[in-house]
């Protein structure tokens, strides 16, 4: 069995199945992670070597030290691939690939999957609708934007993950107060029209420039709402025969090909405008979705997106033809909520539609599966009501997530 060496970069504790699958396929896995995560339950049986970086702030490493350390690794080890396991690691992996000429996504393409300003500009270039937006480099451009686009608006960090750091703003005075408070970091943000509507996520796998697998779901409680107001996070898969699924599948394909993605897993988000029913692109990322979305995808399709991504990487490196298994088409739903109990009992939540309970400390996490979309929605609604009334704990939003 041919052995390849894959370096996995992650400043967050994730990717167990990915590394385990690479190991099962006969490869050597090297992990580079943050020093404070060294004692977490990584798949140590699958990891040959591990290296640790000090964090200067959340997810931020000294990139010069990373490159220098990697150069020492390269003296004794031939590295065949570098993979970013989290959104915050895409930039780090691209930097390593560029410096050491390792195949994969480089620094130009990575910006379309990391920088929210670059991805909006690229989407427009590919005739994909986006909410009205502007960079906030220039005062006159900001004033021109707010004169033309009615509030409320959202101020978004260009390179944060999910809903982290997003601020909803309703009037011009508050906007300028917030912009001025950013100081020297102002250029790291963009301003966007707040577009009411339902938010959807599309999780897919692309191989040699072709989107081979797509799962589309609707957030019943969007991440921004949960992050800012607290509550129960819920998402439900779309039936493949629906108009919404077919439109999202086509739109996602145009997006990824237009952004230049050749291989890998992606998580993209779109909003269906309440006022006009049009699809608007929100953001994309070249990684597996968080918040236990892979469990939702697997319940619906039978595809473990982490393991399938690992198989794709293995086949690419070994020049073996790759073919994905035919996915199933169950209705599935995901519910995750912060609770006031460290390890809540799940017995009272048991029903025929439960696919799995998620062992998350201080949380209730449930994945449902059925042939009946309405049954899944009923389970999600009834459980959310029960959790909210009896178990829900709410903490103020943080500017940075914790690991």
- What domains lie within the chain, and their CATH numbers? 5-104 (3.40.50.20), 132-193 (3.30.1490.20), 197-390 (3.30.470.20)
The continuous run of DSSP H or E covering 99 comes out as helix 90-100
What is the Cα–Cα distance from 294 to 219, expressed in whole angstroms? 14
- Cα 359–Cα 362–Cα 360 angle in degrees, nearest 5: 20
Output the DSSP codes for 158-186: TT--TTTT-EEE-SHHHHHHHHHHTGGGG
pTM: predicted TM-score of the whole model, two decimal places: 0.93
Q: What pLDDT is attached to residue 256?
A: 97
pLDDT in tens, 55-89: 998 889 999 999 999 999 999 999 999 999 999 99
What is the Cα–Cα distance from 323 to 300, expressed in whole angstroms? 19
Selection from 57, 195, 222 nearest residue 131 by Cα: 195
pLDDT in tens, 32-52: 999 999 999 999 999 999 999
Torsion of CA 190, 193, 198, 200, to 10 degrees: -30
Q: What pLDDT is attached to residue 401?
A: 44
Residues of the chain scoring pLDDT < 50:
400-403
What is the Cα–Cα distance from 301 to 60, expressed in whole angstroms? 35
What is the Cα–Cα distance from 89 to 8, expressed in whole angstroms? 10
Q: What pLDDT is attached to residue 402?
A: 38
Q: What pLDDT is attached to residue 10?
A: 97
């Amino acid at each position: 069995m041919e052995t390849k060496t894959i370096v996995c970069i992650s400043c967050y504790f994730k990717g167990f199945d990915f590394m385990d699958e690479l190991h099962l396929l006969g490869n050597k896995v090297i992990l580079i992670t943050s020093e404070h995560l060294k004692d977490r339950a990584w798949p140590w049986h699958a990891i040959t070597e591990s290296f640790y970086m000090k964090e200067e702030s959340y997810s931020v490493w000294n990139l010069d030290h990373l490159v220098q350390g990697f150069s020492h690794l390269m003296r004794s080890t031939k590295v065949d691939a570098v993979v970013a396991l989290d959104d915050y690691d895409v930039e780090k992996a691209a930097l390593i690939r560029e410096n050491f000429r390792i195949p994969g996504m480089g620094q130009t393409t990575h910006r379309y999957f990391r920088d929210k300003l670059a991805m909006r500009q690229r989407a427009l270039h590919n005739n994909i609708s986006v909410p009205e937006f502007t960079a906030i480099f220039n005062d006159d451009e900001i004033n021109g934007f707010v004169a033309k686009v009615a509030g409320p608006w959202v101020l978004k960090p260009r390179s944060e993950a999910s809903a982290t750091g997003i601020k909803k703003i309703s009037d011009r005075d508050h906007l300028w107060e917030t912009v001025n408070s950013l100081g020297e970091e102002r250029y790291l943000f963009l301003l966007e029209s707040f577009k009411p509507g339902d938010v959807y996520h599309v999780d897919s796998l692309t191989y040699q420039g072709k989107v081979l697998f797509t799962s589309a779901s609707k957030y019943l409680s969007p991440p921004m709402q949960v992050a800012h107001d607290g509550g129960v996070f819920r998402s439900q898969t779309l039936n493949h025969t629906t108009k919404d699924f077919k439109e999202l599948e086509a739109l996602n394909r145009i997006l990824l090909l237009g952004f230049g993605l050749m291989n890998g897993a992606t998580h993209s988000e779109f909003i269906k405008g309440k006022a006009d029913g049009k699809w608007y692109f929100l953001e994309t990322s070249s990684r597996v979705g968080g918040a236990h979305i892979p469990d939702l995808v697997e319940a619906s399709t039978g595809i473990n997106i982490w393991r399938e991504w690992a198989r794709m990487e293995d086949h690419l490196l070994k020049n073996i033809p790759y073919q994905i298994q035919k996915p199933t088409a169950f209705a599935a739903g995901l519910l995750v909520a912060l609770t006031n109990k460290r390890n809540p009992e799940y017995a009272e939540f048991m029903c025929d539609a439960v696919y799995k309970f998620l062992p998350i400390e201080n949380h209730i996490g449930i994945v449902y599966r059925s042939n009946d979309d309405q049954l899944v929605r009923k389970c999600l609604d009834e459980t959310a009501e029960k959790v909210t009334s009896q178990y829900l704990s709410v903490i103020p939003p943080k500017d940075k997530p914790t690991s």
